C-alpha cells in the first residue's frame, strides 16, 4: 500500500513546470501509511511564495486517495530547504528537452550552461531574472535562440 501511494503521489505533475513530477523535482519528502490506510505525505515548496503549493497539496491528496489511501494528511515542511541539487537526473533531462537548461550542481564550480537546443557551449545572459527569480534568460551564440536557465540554488 505504501509503495503504491508513494508512486502515485510522486507522479503528480508540478503545476508550473508541467513536464516534471513533484517526485522528480525533489518536492516529495516523505510518505507513510498506517495499518488503517491513513497516509501522511510530506512535501516541501521550492520557494516560500510558491502559489502552486495549494494546488499541489490538493493534487497529492487526490492521488493518494485514488491509490487506495483511506485518509490523507499533507504536511508542508520547510527544512531542510529545497535545493536544485534534489532534481533527479530524469528531471534534468526533461528540463533540457523542454528547452530549459538544467542547473549545475551546487558543489561544483559554476559554469555557463550550454544551449539546450543545439548544445553549443557559447551562450550569454540576457537577464538574470526571467519568468521566475531562479530562471535566467540566456541566448545561444551558436543557433541564436533564447532559452531559460534554471540557476543552481
Partner 1 sequence: MTSLFDYLLGLGDDALVAAQRTAEWCARAPQLEEEVALANVALDQLGQARAFLGYAGELEGAGRDEDALAFLRDEAGFRNAQLVELPNGDFGTTVAKTLFLAAYQKLLFSRLARTAEPRLAGIAAKAAKESAFHVSYASAWTIRLGDGTPLSHRRMRDAVEEVWPYTHELFEPWTAPEAGLDPATLREPWLRVVEKVLGEATLSRPQDGWAATGGRHGRHTEWLGPLLAEMQSVHRAHAGARW
In angstroms, the first-to-last Cα distance of the chain is 35
| Residues contributing to the site for Zn ion (CB under 5 A) | 115, 117-118, 120, 140, 142-143
Instruction: Specify whether the CB–CB gap between 6 and 41 falls below 8 A.
Output: no
Comparing CB distances to partner 1, the nearer of 78 and 108 is 78
Q: How far is the CB of 82 from Zn ion (least distance, A)?
A: 29
78 binds partner 1 (CB under 8 A): yes
Q: How far is the CB of 130 from partner 1 (least distance, A)?
A: 7
User: With CB under 8 A, what is the number of residues at the site for partner 1?
Assistant: 22
130 binds partner 1 (CB under 8 A): yes
* CA atoms of 84 and 102, how far apart (whole Å): 9
Comparing CB distances to partner 1, the nearer of 33 and 100 is 100
Q: How far is CA 16 from CA 53, 80, 87, in A?
A: 10, 22, 15
* CB-based contacts of 77, cutoff 8 Å, min separation 6: 29, 30, 42, 43, 44
Q: Report the partner that residue 132 touches, choosing among Zn ion, partner 1, none (CB closer than 5 to 8 A by kind).
A: partner 1
Comparing CB distances to Zn ion, the nearer of 88 and 120 is 120
Q: How far is the CB of 121 from Zn ion (least distance, A)?
A: 10
Instruction: Specify whether the CB–CB gap between 28 and 34 falls below 8 A.
Output: no
Angle (CA) 28-86-135 rounded to 5° is 105
Give the residues lining the site for partner 1 (CB under 8 A): 45, 47-51, 77-82, 127-134, 137, 153
Amino acid at each position: 500500500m505504501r509503495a503504491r501511494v508513494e508512486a502515485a503521489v510522486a507522479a503528480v505533475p508540478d503545476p508550473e513546470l508541467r513536464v516534471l513530477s513533484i517526485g522528480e523535482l525533489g518536492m516529495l519528502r516523505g510518505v507513510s501509511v498506517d495499518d488503517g490506510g491513513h497516509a501522511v505525505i510530506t512535501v516541501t515548496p521550492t520557494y516560500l511564495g510558491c502559489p502552486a503549493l495549494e494546488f499541489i497539496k490538493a493534487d497529492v491528496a487526490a492521488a493518494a486517495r485514488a491509490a487506495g489511501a483511506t485518509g490523507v494528511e499533507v504536511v508542508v515542511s520547510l527544512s531542510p530547504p529545497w535545493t536544485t541539487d534534489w532534481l533527479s537526473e530524469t528531471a534534468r533531462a526533461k528540463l533540457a528537452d523542454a528547452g530549459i537548461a538544467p542547473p549545475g550542481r551546487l558543489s561544483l564550480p559554476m559554469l555557463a550552461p550550454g544551449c539546450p537546443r543545439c548544445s553549443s557551449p557559447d551562450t550569454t545572459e540576457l537577464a538574470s531574472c526571467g519568468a521566475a527569480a531562479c530562471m535566467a534568460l540566456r541566448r545561444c551564440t551558436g543557433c541564436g535562440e533564447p532559452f531559460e536557465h534554471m540557476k543552481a540554488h
